Structure 1
């Protein structure tokens, strides 16, 4: 199931920003309430001190008079002399209770409204200045509403900016996709596209994949071309022998031609088996691992080549004292040993001695044949390469298969002519 990375990033940002915005709004509301209360409390205190300063003049008014202050919305004032007689009051202040000798803020309720009252008392009398809490809440709401309107107006621009920033940040990926779409499958050139450091591992992995794919395609082309060339000769020979069968009347001649047909079929079958084995090995990067019994592997490989060695009159011996690997893929290692022994028997003269040695340091197969000319040694192991002058049939793939199995198991393949005569093929751990 596919999804948009850009949309996922935007959603993630919104999921993070929204709670932070809500938390910021709550903190803003608390701070606004504190500031508004502080402002209005200061105004009430200043007004109370101003009224208190007028007490001497108000005390000189005739007794029994009850002067009224000008009515103000949401506020109330009241002034008393030391005896508790009201000297000044507005319509709202009629309900304010008298508290002699009290200075400070009090809360009271009047007509289902909450009032915050500041009392200031002294030798000259007492003053009360009250204000409805709704007035303060209205001021706080106005501040929050203004802030909210600003945020709402900026929200589309903020979302657009976030979307643009995410789009800009992901643009290198889009450019990389276009570059990949324009590349040829067999182009081994590494990508050098500028990417953020966070995407550098992705670019390195892509370059590694490109190199492996290009190498695989190149090997497959070479493999296909070589396989077609190698198969052409036995198939052509088979056709010639088959045509001879239709022309020969002599039974012995027909039998001889049929024998050559069978040999050609065997050669082609062997070549196809080797090609399939090498093709499977080329595709493998890792192998299952299991404990290895090197003595058993050596015995099995010798038995598999025993029939052919008997025909050739060759003698195979093996010496096992451990092994270079404690674990590996037993079937492939058995194939490796069999190919080495088969090559040693096939390209040695009849009656040759072949020795298989396995120890913790190396695997060695040596024979007492003629060896290989020095000018041909560097080419041994190349696909389909067979030194000139060979009388034995073969595909030239045996050592290629051995080399690939060795690479998969971390073994290094080498060969050299022995001073006493013959060829020695060795495998050592890296």
Structure 2
């Protein structure tokens, strides 16, 4: 009976996560108009809060989850719930695919070559994403074959919708020393840097 209940619990958790992701994707789509009424959001505070919120998941996997960001606010014009969802998805993905004992770092700073942009980087030492699939992982329901890829294939699709809705850019690259580097650039509110 215990294995059946554990399987049911796991299936229920997966169904809840999928439902929540579908709702997030729906909120992020431009047709909903959530990007019309923007407000100032300190992306440093959002990222720091999400790291703190996801520390229990990191601790369960014995992952060293760190945050690098200054005390100076970096303010973007946007939707606070969607920006929170953006960071949550990136950090959650990194934690899910980084092996036990791994390292995940979230860093927020000014983009070095464009002072009018903020840069959010999530770096992990997990399996990474092969270069030939880096555009496809932004498609809805796309999942890599093999490995321990257990997600629904919606996380990066949600992130991309949110980034584009905030007039930003997203890129994937190899992390130094192996793993994945996800970089998001968002325009700062004029005079915020």
More strand by share: 2
| Relative contact order higher in (CA < 8 Å, ≥ 6 apart) | 2
Matched, 1:412 2:169: yes
Displacement over 3 Å in runs of 4+:
321-326
More helix by share: 1
2:142 paired residue number: 385
Distance 2:32 2:121 in 1: 25
Residue 385 of structure 1 and its aligned partner are, at CA, apart by 1.1
Matched, 1:297 2:46: yes
Residue 324 of structure 1 and its aligned partner are, at CA, apart by 6.0
- 8 Å Cα contact 1:323-1:360 kept in structure 2: no
SS of 1:354's equivalent in the other structure is strand
Distance 1:309 1:391 in 2: 17
Distance 1:345 1:383 in 2: 20
Unpaired stretches in structure 2, ≥5 consecutive residues: 112-118, 188-193
- 8 Å Cα contact 2:76-2:186 kept in structure 1: no
- 8 Å Cα contact 1:324-1:428 kept in structure 2: no
Residue 320 of structure 1 and its aligned partner are, at CA, apart by 1.6
Q: Superposition pairs for residues 195-206 of structure 1, below 5 Å?
A: none
Q: 1:305 to 1:349 in 2, by over 3 A?
A: same
Distance 1:404 1:328 in 2: 13
Matched, 1:275 2:7: no
Q: 1:408 to 1:265 in 2, by over 3 A?
A: same
Distance 2:129 2:76 in 1: 33
Taking only aligned residues, the RMSD between alpha carbons, in angstroms, comes to 1.8
1:163 paired residue number: none
Distance 2:131 2:18 in 1: 27
Matched, 1:319 2:65: no
Distance 1:276 1:325 in 2: 26
TM value normalised by structure 2: 0.83
Residue 420 of structure 1 and its aligned partner are, at CA, apart by 1.7
TM value normalised by structure 1: 0.39
SS of 1:380's equivalent in the other structure is helix
Distance 1:405 1:324 in 2: 18
Distance 1:384 1:343 in 2: 14
Distance 2:127 2:106 in 1: 18
Unpaired stretches in structure 1, ≥5 consecutive residues: 1-253
SS of 1:360's equivalent in the other structure is strand
Distance 2:44 2:186 in 1: 18
Distance 1:370 1:314 in 2: 14
- 8 Å Cα contact 2:63-2:103 kept in structure 1: yes
2:32 paired residue number: 284
**Structure with bigger gyration radius:** 1
